[in-house]
Structure 1
Amino acid sequence: MSMVNVNTHTPLDMELGIFHNDADEMFLRRLSVYATIRSGDLKNDVSNRRTDGHKSLADLFKVWDIKEQAELDCDENDHDHPLPEQLEMREHELLVKGFEIDSRIAPGFRYNVRYIGTNEYLFNGEARRLNSIGLGYGRRMTFQGNSLNFNDCFFWSDSIPNGYALNIQALKEGDVFIIVDADQQEVGSVEVQKVDFPQIEKDTFIDDNAVVKNVKVRFACFLKMFNHHSQNLMNVNTQDFEVVEGTAQLVKEKGSKEAVVRCINDVHFSSIGNCTLHSDP
C-alpha cells in the first residue's frame, strides 16, 4: 500500500504524471491564470442562516470530557457577545479566504461551512457534500443542492473579506456498521444515533488514486449483539446503548462522487473491548 502526503507534491510533480490527475482530484492541481469573479454570485439568504451552530451530545448524555464541554458551553453562553478569538479560525477548521483554499479541502467530502467572524453557518447549519472547486483566483465552491435543476449552494472564495471556515463531517445519524472484535470475528452491529461536533480531521493522503482522510469522531450508538450457536451467528434482539470514540477512515475512490466511511478504528465498547467497525455492505 502506498501512502503519499498531499502536501509533499508540487504542481510540477502532477504535470509530470507522478500521480493521477482528473476532475475528482482537482484540489491537487489548483492552477489557473484566470480570475473568475462575477457579480451576483454570492446568493445567500441571510434570513435563513442558523446562528446556533451545533450542540454537543453532552447536552443529552452528560458523558463528555469536562474540558471539552466547558469550551462548548463557552461558545453557547457567549453567543450574543462572543469574544474575538471565538470568531476566528478554530483548531478543527479549514480556511477558505480570498485566493487561499486549504489543501486538505477536497470534492466528494461533506463539510459544515461557517462565516469567519460570526457563529453563523451556511446551508442552515447542514453539512453538505462539496461537489467541485473552480479554477482561477476567486474560486467557486459548489456544494450538493436540494434540486437537480437549480443549485444555489455555492459561494466564491473571495466573496467576503473574513472568509469561510470548513469542518469535515464523516459520520451522520443513521449510519450502520458491523462490529469486528480483536479476534477478527463479527460479533454484532451498531447504528449511530448522535454524533458529537466537531469531527476533527487528523490527516489526508493519497492511496492508489483514492483520497483518504482519518477523522476523529465521538458518537452515541445502539449495539445489537450476536450469539454463537452451532458455529453460526444468531441475532439477539436485545440492544445496548454506548457512547464511544474512534478514528473514521473516510475514502473517496477515483471516479466516485462521494466519500464513504470504510471503517472506524480504535473503538472500545465496555461490553466487548477493543474492536473495529466496518461499513455494513
Structure 2
Amino acid sequence: MSLMNVNARSPMDIDLGLFHNEDADETFLKRLSVYATIRPGDLKSDISVSRTNGHNSLTDLFKIWDLKEQTVIGSEDGHEEHLPEQLELRDHELSVKGFEIDSRIVPGFRYTVRYIGTKEYLFDGEARRLETIGLGYGRRMTFQGDSLNFNDCFFWSDSIPEGFAFNIDALREGDAFTIADAESQLIGTVEVQKVEFPQIEKDTFIEGNAVVKNVKVRFACFVKLFNHHNQNLVNVNTQDFEVVEGIAQTVKERGSKEAVVKRISDVHFNSLGKCTLHYDP
C-alpha cells in the first residue's frame, strides 16, 4: 500500500510543545482548580451536552491548555516577536529516515508518528503499538491495526525523503495504579484521566529478558484513598483530583506483545507528598 493511503492530520490535542516551566504549571493548575471537588460521574459525562454551571468539561479544559506556546523575543523597536515554528526533529522525537531507524524505537511500545517538516500525523494522530520492523532498505513499519483480518496501518521507512518523527506513548487515559507513600504503605488508588503531550523518553536499557524505558509523564488523575479507620493512616477528605508528573517505567517483557507501565516514581501529590504509583492490573 502506498503512503498516500495512510490517514494523516494534526490533532487538536497533539502538538509539538515541550513540558512547561513553573509559571506555566501554575497557570495550568489554576485552570484545573474548578475541578478540585469534581465527582467521578462528572468525568464520564458526555462533553457534547451543554452545561448550565458555566464550567467546561475535562476534555475541553485540556484543549484550552495551549501546547503551542512559542518563545517570545524582544525586537529592537521594543515589540515582541514570535520565533518561527520549528517543524524538524524535536529533542523528544526519534527519527526514521531511509534505512536509518533510531535504535530506541522498539516493537511492543506505542508511538505517535509525524511527518518531519509538517504538523501532520499518521493514523489520525493516534498512538499505536509498533508490531514489527521489516528488513531491507525500505523497511516496513507495521503498527497495530483495527482489524485482525486486514491491517493497513503500515508504511515504509523510505517513503518520503524527510523521514518520520516517532514519539513514545507510555501512559494512557484510563490506566489505574495503586499509591504507595514514602513509607511504602498502600494508601489508595489513582485513575488517569488525561495525559499531556509529549511524553518524553529519558532512557532505554535491557534488564534481564525485558526492554525497559523510563518516560517523563505529566497527567491529571482521580485520587481515591483507602479508609483506614483503625490505623488512621490518611485523611480521607483529601483532594480528589490532582495534576502530577513523574517517571513512568515502561517494560516490554520477552514474549509479550505490548509494553506495560509497571510503576511511576517521583510523583508528588499536594495532599500526600512524594509517592510511587504501582501497576494495578
Quick one: distance in 2 between partners of 1:234 and 1:139? 53
Residue of structure 2 equivalent to 1:44:
5
2:68 to 52, 72, 88: 72
Residue of structure 2 equivalent to 1:146:
146
Residue of structure 2 equivalent to 1:278:
278
Residue of structure 2 equivalent to 1:14:
none
Cα deviation for residue 209 of structure 1 reads 1.1
Q: Contact conserved, 1:245 with 1:267, CA < 8 A, in 2? A: yes
Kindly tell me the number of residue pairs found equivalent between the two proteins.
Answer: 231
Cα deviation for residue 95 of structure 1 reads 0.1
Residue of structure 2 equivalent to 1:172:
172
Matches within 5 A, 1:123-162: 123-162=123-162
Residue of structure 2 equivalent to 1:27:
none
Q: Contact conserved, 1:224 with 1:237, CA < 8 A, in 2? A: no
Q: Contact conserved, 2:193 with 2:220, CA < 8 A, in 1? A: yes
Go from structure 1 to structure 2 and tell me whether the alpha carbon gap of 1:146 and 1:133 turns closer, same or farther (over 3 Å shift).
same
DSSP-derived class of the 1:179 partner: strand
Q: Contact conserved, 1:106 with 1:130, CA < 8 A, in 2? A: yes
Go from structure 1 to structure 2 and tell me whether the alpha carbon gap of 1:49 and 1:72 turns closer, same or farther (over 3 Å shift).
closer
Structure 1 residue runs of 5 or longer lacking an equivalent are 1-39, 76-81
Quick one: distance in 1 between partners of 2:236 and 2:11? 43
DSSP-derived class of the 2:124 partner: helix
Residue of structure 2 equivalent to 1:266:
266
Matches within 5 A, 1:69-218: 72-74=68-70, 83=84, 86-218=86-218
DSSP-derived class of the 1:117 partner: coil
Quick one: distance in 1 between partners of 2:98 and 2:120? 19
Quick one: distance in 2 between partners of 1:116 and 1:162? 6
Residue of structure 2 equivalent to 1:20:
none
Quick one: distance in 2 between partners of 1:97 and 1:216? 25
DSSP-derived class of the 1:227 partner: coil
Residue of structure 2 equivalent to 1:54:
14
Quick one: distance in 2 between partners of 1:265 and 1:60? 19
Go from structure 1 to structure 2 and tell me whether the alpha carbon gap of 1:190 and 1:51 turns closer, same or farther (over 3 Å shift).
closer
Cα deviation for residue 226 of structure 1 reads 1.4
Go from structure 1 to structure 2 and tell me whether the alpha carbon gap of 1:209 and 1:136 turns closer, same or farther (over 3 Å shift).
same
Quick one: distance in 2 between partners of 1:190 and 1:157? 39
Quick one: distance in 1 between partners of 2:222 and 2:174? 10
Quick one: distance in 1 between partners of 2:14 and 2:119? 10
TM-score normalised according to structure 2 size: 0.74
Residue of structure 2 equivalent to 1:4:
none
Letter paired with 1:273:
G
Q: Contact conserved, 1:225 with 1:239, CA < 8 A, in 2? A: no
Letter paired with 1:270:
N
Verify: 1:221 aligned to 2:221, yes or no: yes
Letter paired with 2:161:
P
Letter paired with 2:14:
H
Letter paired with 1:49:
R
Q: Contact conserved, 1:52 with 1:120, CA < 8 A, in 2? A: no
Q: CA RMSD in A?
A: 3.0
Quick one: distance in 1 between partners of 2:237 and 2:11? 41
Go from structure 1 to structure 2 and tell me whether the alpha carbon gap of 1:61 and 1:120 turns closer, same or farther (over 3 Å shift).
farther
Residue of structure 2 equivalent to 1:63:
28
After superposition, what is the alpha-carbon deviation per residue over 1:236-264, rounded to whole angstroms, capped at 9, x for unaligned?
Answer: 69861110000000000000000000000
Quick one: distance in 2 between partners of 1:135 and 1:260? 26
Q: Contact conserved, 2:196 with 2:217, CA < 8 A, in 1? A: yes
After superposition, what is the alpha-carbon deviation per residue over 1:133-168, rounded to whole angstroms, capped at 9, x for unaligned?
Answer: 011111100000000000000000001010000000
- Identical residues among aligned pairs (%): 70
DSSP-derived class of the 2:68 partner: helix
Structure 2 residue runs of 5 or longer lacking an equivalent are 30-64, 72-82
Residue of structure 1 equivalent to 2:77:
none
After superposition, what is the alpha-carbon deviation per residue over 1:19-62, rounded to whole angstroms, capped at 9, x for unaligned?
Answer: xxxxxxxxxxxxxxxxxxxxx4435345x533546168999994
